Structure 1
Amino acid sequence: MKTTLATMITLIVASIAFAASGAESDGSGILLALFIGIGALIIVFQMLPGLALFGSMLKGLFSGKDAESRN
């Protein structure tokens, strides 16, 4: 009886220790954050000239001058 009780207590303590081993961490480190950050910077820096071109296109479309006076 004492042996069975000691075995059960040992198994319960071991299962709690295995459950709290930190296996639930996703493992993403500084390199993953750096990779995502650089990707975001590339997207932002590619959008800036596109927005500038879009703004100049809208400015050209809605300007008061007609097409013949530009030539």
Structure 2
Amino acid sequence: MLYPSIDSLLNKIDSKYSLVSVAAKRARFLQQNEDPRLDKYVSHKYVGKALEEIDGGQLSFRVANKADTPSES
């Protein structure tokens, strides 16, 4: 069984696409800068650590409003 489970992760972030995006960005950041948000990790790999942080409520995402994004004129 995988830890954390996809069901528990989708309770934190509502779409698989967003989940993958957040986990990938955090994994890249962890690889470059050792900045742990949890005291202890089960996984030794960066993507697993990022997923554990999402499951632990340490990572989230927000959707930018149309007014927050720059226009491409």
Q: TM-score, normalised on structure 2?
A: 0.26
Answer 1 or 2: which has greater helix percent.
1
Higher-RCO chain (CA-CA 8 Å, sequence separation at least 6): 2
TM-score, normalising length: structure 1: 0.27
Structure with greater Cα Rg: 1
